[in-house]
Amino acid sequence: MQWASWSAFFNMGGYAFYVWFSFGLTALCVVWEVLALRKRSQQALRLSQLLAQN
């Protein structure tokens, strides 16, 4: 294991902001993309549902 303690892990040798921001942003993009797609497919289904009823 590389890290003496959890706080050392979170500190990232003083580069915490850069490292965690990079990984955080990536995670955020991934989550956002998946959620946005889920919403988009629901909207598409709702639209065709409306079309089916008319």
Partner 1 sequence: MNINWFKYSSPQTFYPLAGKMIPWFTWLAVVLAMAGLYVSFAIAPTDFQQGEAYRIIFVHVPAAWMSMVIYIAMAGWAAVGLALNARLSAMMAQALAPTGAIFTLLALVTGSLWGKPMWGAWWVWDARLTSELILLFLYLGFMALQSSIDDPRRADRAGALLALVGVVNVPIIYFSVKWWNTLHQGSTINMGVAPKMAATMLLGMLLMALAFWVYTVAVALMRVRCIILERECSTDWVKELSTGGQA
- Footprint of partner 1 on this chain (CB under 8 A)? 1-3, 9, 12-15, 18-19, 21-23, 25-26, 29-30, 33-34, 37-38, 40-41, 44-49, 51-53
Q: Least separation, in Å, of the C-beta of 16 and partner 1?
A: 9
**Of 5 and 51, which has the nearer Cβ to partner 1?**
51
Cβ–Cβ < 8 Å for 16, 10? yes
Q: Can you read off the two tokens belonging to residue 38?
A: 């889920």
Q: How far is Cα 54 from Cα 43, in angstroms, rounded to an integer?
A: 17
**Of 1 and 5, which has the nearer Cβ to partner 1?**
1
